[in-house]
């Protein structure tokens, strides 16, 4: 007899606990407390103090992973009950964090934070419930079994399209074309970096759609993302971003998709990209600055919007760094250790770089993304299909015996 399915998936339960612990850390840091009047009064007094667009988007994003992981952890609960229970649980959890912030030094509760966090928990639970449904299985097919790849693409889209507020100003489109034709400043180094990221995205799409189909998916995704970035109220796409997408699309569609060594080559380009980004602005100070061992200090001390954008960008970068090295043929343990050591060395070098946050956060984030990759089952390098037309001779042809 087949064993009965468990009510709780322990892998995702552990991931849910880790995400909840991270939320507690971010909500109550620096863990210093003071006496205060009623926390409920302080919370309700903020009802007429609306947040900015980027703050609302950031607070929603904070709780989406919690809802996603919790929905994946609860395996035998009906979808509607799963979304309702996780959403209400996320709301109660957020309310407890907001009330605790009334007594935390340097923190203040906000009712709009509670609304946004609850919306994020409901949204994450709904997405997680849909991914486990039969319609999702029919739509996504085998791609639904690559959750870590989906996570990396979601992180990439997350920081590309932040803060997600559609403006539709035609002047932005005009400005993009003007910058493209007559750029005020064009950086060939930035062009290389943007091209490397687009090629990494192409490799992620290949893992979901296959090598041949990824060419069309990459083309449509490039056009859609650049148009959305133009219409959304964040930073306009730079000429380097546009030309980098075009170059990557050409290289992938014409050459790379059928090249057997594409994984190793793109992995090498991405490692160079990580090094270049970490060493900017490429001139060193004469005296070093202190190295910060308290994790996530730069995220917590900055604004919510900039902190959310930076976290999405770094989580994608370091998660993709580990994944792409595994894709090139390394084992997960070796890739995780090597990527973490590389990131840590780069962060130590940043004590000599002006305007950079030299701290332990990025190395811990690299290890964390490797752990998530392990929990989600993305542990080995996938065997890639051969190029079209390649002969496969696994067995010798049988001889014809004549008498």
Q: Residue 335 and residue 347: Cα distance in Å, rounded?
A: 18
Coil, helix or strand for 347? Answer: helix
Q: Residue 178 and residue 148: Cα distance in Å, rounded?
A: 38
For 116, residues 6+ apart whose C-beta sits below 8 A from its C-beta are 51, 55, 56, 59, 60, 63
Supply the angle between the helices 10-28 and 361-375 in degrees, to the nearest 10.
160
Average of pLDDT values for 233-261? 92
Task: List, in sequence order, every residue forming a beta bridge with 74; answer none if it has no partner.
Answer: 8
**14 with 87: CB under 8 angstroms?**
no
Q: Residue 369 and residue 265: Cα distance in Å, rounded?
A: 22
Q: Residue 150 and residue 207: Cα distance in Å, rounded?
A: 10
Domain ranges of the chain: 10-141, 152-257, 260-381
For residue 56, give both structure tokens: 């609302």
Number of C-beta neighbours around residue 342 at 10 A:
19
Average of pLDDT values for 109-123? 92
Average of pLDDT values for 234-262? 92
Residue that the structure tokens 């290389």 belong to? 192
Average of pLDDT values for 135-148? 81
For residue 350, give both structure tokens: 């940043």
Return the C-alpha torsion angle 276, 183, 309, 362, nearest 10.
10
What's the DSSP call for residue 18? H
What pLDDT is recorded for position 5? 61
Q: What pLDDT digit, counting tens, does each position of 279-295 carry?
A: 998 989 988 999 999 88
**300 with 26: CB under 8 angstroms?**
yes
Q: What pLDDT digit, counting tens, does each position of 17-40 carry?
A: 999 999 999 888 888 888 877 888
Q: What pLDDT digit, counting tens, does each position of 157-189 carry?
A: 999 998 888 777 778 888 888 888 887 788 999
What pLDDT is recorded for position 337? 97
Q: What pLDDT digit, counting tens, does each position of 305-346 carry?
A: 788 889 999 999 999 999 999 999 999 999 999 999 999 999
What's the DSSP call for residue 185? -
């Amino acid at each position: 007899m087949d064993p009965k399915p468990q009510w709780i998936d322990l892998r995702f339960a552990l991931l849910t606990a880790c995400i909840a612990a991270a939320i507690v850390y971010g909500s109550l840091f620096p863990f210093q407390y003071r006496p205060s009047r009623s926390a409920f009064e302080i919370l309700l007094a903020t009802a007429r103090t609306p947040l900015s667009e980027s703050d609302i988007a950031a607070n929603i994003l904070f709780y989406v992973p919690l809802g996603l992981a919790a929905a994946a952890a609860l395996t035998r609960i009906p979808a509607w009950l799963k979304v309702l229970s996780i959403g209400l649980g996320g709301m109660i959890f957020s309310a407890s964090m907001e009330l605790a912030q009334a007594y935390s030094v340097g923190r203040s509760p906000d009712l709009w934070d509670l609304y946004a966090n609850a919306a994020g928990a409901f949204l994450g639970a709904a997405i997680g419930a849909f991914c486990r449904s039969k319609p999702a299985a029919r739509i996504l097919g085998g791609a639904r079994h690559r959750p870590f790849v989906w996570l990396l693409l979601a992180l990439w889209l997350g920081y590309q399209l932040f803060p997600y507020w559609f403006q539709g100003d035609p002047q932005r489109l005009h400005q993009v074309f003007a910058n493209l034709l007559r750029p005020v400043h064009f950086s060939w180094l930035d062009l290389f970096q943007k091209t490397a990221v687009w090629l990494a995205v192409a490799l992620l799409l290949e893992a979901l759609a296959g090598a041949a189909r990824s060419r069309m998916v990459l083309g449509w995704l490039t056009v859609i993302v650049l148009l959305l970035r133009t219409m959304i109220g964040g930073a306009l796409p730079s000429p380097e971003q546009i030309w980098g997408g075009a170059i990557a699309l050409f290289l992938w569609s014409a050459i790379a998709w059928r090249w057997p060594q594409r994984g190793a080559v793109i992995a090498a380009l991405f490692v160079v990209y990580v090094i270049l980004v970490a060493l900017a602005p490429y001139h060193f100070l004469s005296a070093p600055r202190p190295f910060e061992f308290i994790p996530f200090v730069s995220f917590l001390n900055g604004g919510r919007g900039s902190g959310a954008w930076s976290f999405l960008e770094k989580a994608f970068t370091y998660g993709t760094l580990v994944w792409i090295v595994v894709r090139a043929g390394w084992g997960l343990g070796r890739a995780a250790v090597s990527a973490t050591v590389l990131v840590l060395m780069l962060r130590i070098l940043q004590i000599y770089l002006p305007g950079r946050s030299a701290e332990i956060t990025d190395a811990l984030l690299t290890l964390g993304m490797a752990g998530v990759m392990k929990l989600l089952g993305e542990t080995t390098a996938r065997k890639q299909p051969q190029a079209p037309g390649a002969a496969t001779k696994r067995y010798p042809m049988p001889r014809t015996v004549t008498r």
